[in-house]
Amino acid sequence: MKKHFLFSLVICFAVTAAAQYKYPPSKTVDSSDTYFGVTYHDPYRWMEHISEPEVSGWFKSQADYTNSILNNLNGRDELIAEWVQLDKLQPARIRNVMYEGGRLFYRKTMPGEKVGKLYYREGMNGKEVLLFDPSAYIAGKTLTLSSGIPSFDGKKIAISYTQEGAEVDVIKVMNVDTRQFLKDSVFPSAGFNTWTYDSKSFCYMWIQNADNKDPNSRLNPKSKMHKVGDVQENDIDFFSNGSYPELNIEPAVYPFVYLSKDAPQYIFSGTGSVQPEIVAYSAPIAELNNKKINWKPLCRAEDKLVRSFGVIGNTAYGITYSNAKNYKLISAPVSNPNWSNATVIAPEKNNQTLEYFTNCKDYLLIVHSDGINNHVSKYNLRTKQTTPVKLPFSGTVDISVTDSKTNRCRVGITSWIKPYTEFDFDAATNAFTPGLLNKPPVYPAKYKDLEVKEVEVKGHDGEMIPLSIIYKKGTKLDGSNTCLLDAYGAYGSSSTPWFSVRENALAVRGVVIGIPHVRGGSEKGEAWYRAGYKTTKPNTWKDFISCAEYMVAQGYTSKEKMAGTGTSAGGILITRAITERPDLFAAAICNVGCANALRLEFGANGPVNIPEFGTVTDSVECRALYEMDGVQHVQPNTAYPAVLCVAGWNDSRVIAWQPGKFAAAMQNNSTSGKPVLMKVNYDNGHFTEDKTVTFSNFADQFAFVLWQCGHPGFQPKK
């Protein structure tokens, strides 16, 4: 009798939930894969045929239904309005600065503009001239400027642009003096590589087609060389597995080439993927026009060089984790790069990780991190001496060198609650002066009323997990606050402190923001990364869960007001966190997230990610992928949190069916009565520079979780 009564309650509750939210139906099919004697069922495999009308129709119905709900939430439009107003208050933002042929080229975004435009000046202080406006180039379309790369003589510039976040480039060539495009047009491309020194040709990354939904579109890419004035059909295969089969370049990786003014006697090539270890080759520049170049290995994966690599003159410099879990900087001659017997430039530090280095005329500028703040030193290339650099204030440091023939640098510093501030830095004198290109930003007084607390949380296995907590001054720790936890945990990418206008706009509204520094990043060095990688990946979401438990235990929030979000590879983190501990979260966002890890390698960008997550063709890695797979861990008749899945229809990195499958599984199985919505951005990819699209996208996401966490400012309109 008692068992029957409880079963009836469950059935009634499920019916109530279904009645409350009339989702477009998601069918299931009898589909499965058997790997190494284990069968994995995949009832939503039909979604992978994403170009089929049935599938695209499902996404459209889900998107319309989701919009009908999110558009009715209070607070959403107010968030957008605030971000728009804050954007208008800011000074012009200048990025991607390059100096060639005595001319300064850069991307500049004015207050209130949706996207940046391309400009140049004659010299550092010349008159500003507009070269390319992506918002006006094609009537009725807002393009995004991918890059503007000037030729070495500064007389031409290769302009790459994309549409609607698709990350498939059109490359056109402009005569800088006349500001007129030449007849050259290259498409499709995955990006620009390099100009030749005579400025008559350039190399770019050729891909098979522009269809991001085609799983073969990015296999076997090539670095092709295009001669200015010629037609694309005549472009030659300059560097690929096809032209150099002896190098055994994998079909999934991107073979690239580049030239460097710091080492003009060489031409360089390499292969790019998510694998952190750098693979590079070199050859004398005299071989540039040879039909066959005699490439010499500069570094191999087994050399364990990661993060930063560069050549100055005849010396190569790289960061390694070989016998250095916190990394060290080493060098070797290009003629004989024996990295096992390299010269140590910056030895490993016990309490800091080596993040990156760059160079100006006389110095290497070396950046370390203590897990929160960066520390800078400079290595004198002539005297071989290293000295510390005293920064204007603490935070995350970005160093860029516009012209490496000088010691002038640009140093930007930011933190969780201090906006990005740029300085001009003279490496020879250590003098910092206010930045000439970028002026300090301006924010209302309430954005100065935020605090940060850095703590360490005991993880499930005893490891101490760093956690950054951002909140409004005077916040009471009584469990009444809405909390948003945001983490990533992949590729060794650390969650470094930076001023997030979007999340800080929540903090000034009383929302507590938590940034768990989970394993899979490298806040604590190479071992921290490898502890959230392939077979150790469960540490990533278990660390996130530990931090959520800490926030509840310390009174920052309660389970009823706890939300989590994960983006891209962070989709693994968030989908597994809520499937493992559905009781701990009120709401979750899977933002363009990897939610179906077992099928990840079967998307267009999947093969290139095998070095990070693994492959189903390996018995151990296959089981690890199953553990990472959110879709596989959705259980029937389970009370799950409210979930918002987000997809970019033009996404070349995480195809829409990854979060789509998770949304369908949750809609068909959750009994909590909480909404599970599938948002589709048809004007977006993995991301976009277009602020109008971006503001609307994140306002929807934040309004959803704040609604579900009971925030009074984000409830449905009556």
Query: What's the CATH number where 171 sits?
Result: 2.130.10.120
And the tokens for 262?
A: 């710091």
* 17 confidence band (pLDDT: 50, 70, 90): very low
Q: Which helix (H) or strand (E) holds 584?
A: none
pLDDT at 628: 98
Tell me, yes or no, whether 239 lies in a domain.
yes
CATH number for the domain spanning 594: value is: 3.40.50.1820
Residues 35 and 132 occupy one common structural domain: no
Residues 512 and 583 occupy one common structural domain: yes
Do β-strands 587-591 and 562-567 pair in parallel, antiparallel, or remain unpaired?
parallel
Tell me, yes or no, whether 676 lies in a domain.
yes
**DSSP-assigned beta bridge partners for residue 186:** 171
Q: Which of 230, 259, 288 is the last residue of a domain?
A: 259
Residues 579 and 595 occupy one common structural domain: yes
| Average pLDDT, rounded, for the chain | 95
Residues 109 and 78 occupy one common structural domain: no
pLDDT at 546: 98
Q: Length of the chain in residues, anyone?
A: 718
Q: Please, what's the b/e burial string for 314-344 (b: 16 or more CB within 10 A of its CB; e: otherwise)? A: ebbbbbbbbebbbbbbbbbebeebebeebee
Tell me, yes or no, whether 107 lies in a domain.
yes
Residues 437 and 470 occupy one common structural domain: no
* 569 confidence band (pLDDT: 50, 70, 90): very high
Residues 600 and 656 occupy one common structural domain: yes
Q: Which of 239, 259, 279 is the last residue of a domain?
A: 259
Q: Please, what's the b/e burial string for 97-130 (b: 16 or more CB within 10 A of its CB; e: otherwise)? A: bbbbeebbbbbbbeeebbbbbbbbbeeeeeeeee
Helix, strand, coil percent content, the chain, rounded in steps of 5: 25, 35, 40
**DSSP-assigned beta bridge partners for residue 119:** 106, 130
pLDDT tens column, 525-542: 999 999 999 999 999 999
Residues 427 and 451 occupy one common structural domain: no
d(CA 15, CA 298): 64
pLDDT tens column, 93-109: 999 999 999 999 999 99
Residues 424 and 453 occupy one common structural domain: no
Tell me, yes or no, whether 301 lies in a domain.
no
Q: Which of 259, 275, 307 is the last residue of a domain?
A: 259
* 491 confidence band (pLDDT: 50, 70, 90): very high
pLDDT at 142: 84
Residues 605 and 479 occupy one common structural domain: yes
Contact 147, 193 (CB under 8 A): no
Q: What is the pTM of this model?
A: 0.95
Domain tally for the chain?
3
Q: Percent of the chain scored above 70 by pLDDT?
A: 97
pLDDT at 129: 98
Residues 361-368, mean pLDDT to the nearest whole number: 98
Residues 697 and 586 occupy one common structural domain: yes
Residues 518 and 568 occupy one common structural domain: yes
pLDDT at 718: 82
pLDDT at 20: 83
- E strand segments, 360-510: 363-369, 374-380, 386-389, 396-400, 408-414, 421-426, 431-434, 450-458, 464-472, 483-486
Tell me, yes or no, whether 287 lies in a domain.
no
Higher pLDDT, 199 or 13: 199
Residues 197-220, mean pLDDT to the nearest whole number: 96
Does residue 7 have a pLDDT over 50?
no
Does residue 485 have a pLDDT over 70?
yes
pLDDT at 12: 33
Tell me, yes or no, whether 308 lies in a domain.
no
Q: Which residues contact 245 (CB under 8 A, 6 or more apart)?
A: none
Tell me, yes or no, whether 626 lies in a domain.
yes
pLDDT tens column, 630-680: 999 999 999 999 999 999 999 999 999 999 999 999 999 999 999 999 999
**DSSP-assigned beta bridge partners for residue 389:** 376
* 124 confidence band (pLDDT: 50, 70, 90): confident
Q: Which domain, by its residues, includes 148?
A: 93-259
C-alpha pair distances (Å), 477 with each of 172, 452, 469, 512, 556: 56, 14, 12, 10, 5
pLDDT at 18: 43
Tell me, yes or no, whether 323 lies in a domain.
no
pLDDT at 166: 93
* 16 confidence band (pLDDT: 50, 70, 90): very low
Residues 141 and 120 occupy one common structural domain: yes
* 3 confidence band (pLDDT: 50, 70, 90): very low
* 584 confidence band (pLDDT: 50, 70, 90): very high
